[in-house]
Amino acid sequence: MAKKDNRIKYNVLSGVIYQVVLIALSFLLPRLYLENFGSEVNGVLSTIKQIFAYMVLLESGVGLATMQALYKPVAEKDHNKISAVLSATNRYYVKIGMVYSAVVLLIAVVYEFFVPVTNVPGGVIFGIVALTGLPSVFSYFVQSKYRILMEVDGRKYVINNAETVLQLLANVAKILVLVFTDSLLLIQLSFCVLSLLQLGYLYLHAKGRYPWLDMKVKPDNEAISQRKSVLVHQVSGMVFNNTDVLLLSFLCDFKVVSVYTIYNIFFSQVQTFITNVISGFSFALGQMFHTDREKFMKVYNVYETFYIMATFVIYTLMAVFLLPLIQIYTKGINDANYTNVYLVVLFVVMNLLSNGKLPSNHVLEYAGKFEETRTHAIWEMVINITVSVAAILKWGICGAIIGTIVALAYRGTMMIWYSNKKVLGRSMFHTYKLWLVNSAVFALVMVIFFVDSFSGLSFGRLVVKGLTHAPWIVALYLGVNAAFFRGAFKNAIALWRKKL
């Protein structure tokens, strides 16, 4: 248990460091893109990124199905079972790599010859698309299966450390290229080369860590038989994460996409930060679910309580302080309007709903309830696309987020119901009580401060306001939650003292 505790600490710490580095660098590059190339090119590059995000669907659900299948054998150190599961995964990944290569080439051709982009020389878009896809091709053929095993085994810190080094080197390289050459192709080439080196390092590390792993054993295809149901959930996730940008690019223009992307930078970085921290100990919860259900229930209750509270704290602070940050960030960029009060409110609500359902989603993943809940995922997609299209035509950029919020409200409700009633066998009351209590605190803070309360402030004055008001907002959430959820707080203290 001590070794597992250490892995949790390493995972969380490395995840925090990685995200701090990523956040610091990610805000600089889009600003440089806007200054050097304008909103249209920034919108095109953002759209290409979204298309590649959809390319993950070619994985056909194999990765998540493999992860769920590995929790129990990894907890029991069943090397034969682990090898059999990953042998099956490897065969699928080789096939996926071939298809992925062909699709990358097709996208490169389509963008080069059929998508007009002003002020970009011929052949550049083709090269950008090809170089963007190359690391993923290598990953499917060589490295992906090892990455899954490392995550389930609690070695996410190795991946995080490698990602931190990659982001530091790649972003420094991109900045140097932007400063000295303004070459979009050279920017992507530098990232491609460094990504391949990072993937090679992870491959060699995994080979040394798991010398007993045998990919030649008989593949256990049954272990990942739920991959098609997992794919439905992944498609739903892709629709949530990426459809807004694609719909806006078709129904509006690339400048609108650029505005959406700038707002989304702030929220996506926070979401990735949350996900990285949670993934630091998710492997332990997944193994505990299959080996000690009674303890899992107590630990999960603590996790759900503190996670939802922390999520509300984070997005409350973003609602109060984000708009002036965006104004500072986009100062001097005049080819599009980046100040929009309604966008801040809608993004906050959307991300609260999206991140708030993560504990329930984890329960479904641990239990492998992909097939049983795929209907919920399908309806979420249908609602998201249909409502978003109608809302965009009426309200423009805000309509895209409204459609996503409606879909998330449906999916979150179904997840809470299924995870509590069907998997955990408990009442939904605790989860809904968490949402109601924290929503009340959020509403109170919004009555005191609306999203434009500090609009137009300089960065220095905004920092002072943040240091003044953030502590009491956090304390308010802690005090209210401690009053309403005493059992969870007592168990949290017991966990801290390792008495649970």
Per-residue pLDDT of 66-77, as tens digits, reads: 888 888 888 888
Instruction: Report DSSP state, residue 224.
Output: G
Return the closest-CA partner of residue 151 out of 195, 190, 209. Answer: 209
Residue 391 above 90 pLDDT?
yes
Exposure string (b/e) for 108-128, b if CB count within 10 Å is 16 or more?
Answer: beebbeeeebeebeeeebbbb
Q: In Å, how far are 364, 427, 485 from 494, measured between CA atoms?
A: 26, 24, 15
User: Which position has the higher pLDDT, 166 or 123?
Assistant: 166
- What average pLDDT does range 30-34 have in this prediction? 70
- Does residue 190 or residue 269 have the better pLDDT? 190
pLDDT, residue 60, reads 62
> Above 90 in pLDDT, residue 301?
yes
How crowded is the C-beta side of 141, counted as CA atoms within 13 Å? 13
pLDDT at residue 219, rounded to an integer:
86
The secondary structure of residue 222, as a DSSP letter, is: G
DSSP state at residue 58: G
Q: pLDDT value at position 27?
A: 66
Burial of 413-444, coded b for 16+ CB within 10 Å and e otherwise, reads bbbbebbbeebbeeebeebeebbebbeebbee
Asked if 285 and 299 count as a contact pair (C-beta separation under 8 A), the reply is: yes
Could you report the per-residue pLDDT of 50-97, keeping only the tens digit for each? 777 767 766 667 877 888 888 888 888 899 999 999 998 888 888 888
pLDDT level of residue 467 (50, 70, 90 thresholds): very high
Burial class (CB in 10 A: 0-12, 13-18, 19+), 327: middle
User: Is the model's pLDDT at 356 over the cut of 70?
Assistant: yes
Number of helical (H) and strand (E) elements in the chain, helices listed first: 18, 0
Mean pLDDT over 120-133 rounds to 81
Most confident of 238-247, 308-317, 452-461: 308-317
* Distance in angstroms (rounded) separating the CA atoms of residues 158 and 32: 31
- Shortest CA distance to 320 belongs to which of 476, 172, 164? 476
Model pTM?
Answer: 0.75
Residue listed under structure tokens 């769920």: 68
The arithmetic mean of pLDDT across residues 130-157, rounded, is: 87
pLDDT at position 221 over 90: no
- pLDDT bracket for residue 243 (50, 70, 90): confident
Kindly report which listed range (33-42, 160-169, 339-348, 488-497) carries the lowest average pLDDT score. Answer: 33-42
Res 26: pLDDT: 67
What is the rounded average pLDDT of the residues 238-260? 80
Alpha-helical (H) ranges within 115-226 are 124-138, 144-152, 156-180, 184-209
CB-side neighbour CA atoms (13 Å) of 298: 14
For residues 412 and 329, which has the higher predicted lDDT (pLDDT)? 412
Whole-angstrom Cα distance, residue 125 to residue 129? 6
Q: Is 458 helix (H, G, I), strand (E, B) or coil?
A: coil
In 3-state terms, what secondary structure has residue 301? helix
Where residue 137 falls among pLDDT bands split at 50, 70, 90?
confident
Q: Is the pLDDT of residue 330 over 70?
A: yes
Cβ contacts of 64 within 8 Å, gap of 6 or more? 230, 233, 234, 365, 370
Angle between helices 397-417 and 227-251 (to 10 degrees): 160
pLDDT band at 455; cut points 50, 70, 90: confident
* pLDDT value of residue 399: 93
Distance (Å, rounded) from C-alpha 276 to C-alpha 271? 9
Widest distance between CA atoms in the chain:
65
| Residue with token string 């052949």 | 123
pLDDT, residue 11, reads 80
Q: Indicate if the pLDDT at residue 499 is higher than 70.
A: no
| Predicted local confidence at residue 99, as pLDDT | 85
Ranked by mean pLDDT, the top range of 113-117, 453-457, 496-500 is 453-457
pLDDT at residue 194 in the model: 92
Q: Which pLDDT band, with edges at 50, 70 and 90, does 235 fall under?
A: confident
Which stretch, 39-48, 186-195, 233-242, has highest mean pLDDT? 186-195
Q: Which two tokens stand for residue 142?
A: 């060589």
First to last CA, the chain: 13
Gap between the Cα atoms of 470 and 450, Å rounded:
14
- 374 vs 238, which has greater pLDDT? 374
Percentage of residues in the chain with pLDDT exceeding 90?
Answer: 31
Query: What is the C-alpha separation between 283 and 273, in angstroms, rounded?
Result: 17
Average of per-residue pLDDT values in the chain:
85
The pLDDT value recorded for residue 475 is 96
Q: Is 171 helix (H, G, I), strand (E, B) or coil?
A: helix
- From 154, 111, 145, 144, select the one nearest 5 (Cα to Cα): 154
SS3 89: helix
What is the pLDDT at residue 180? 82
Q: What is the predicted pLDDT for the residue at 2?
A: 52
Confidence bin at 264 (pLDDT 50/70/90): confident
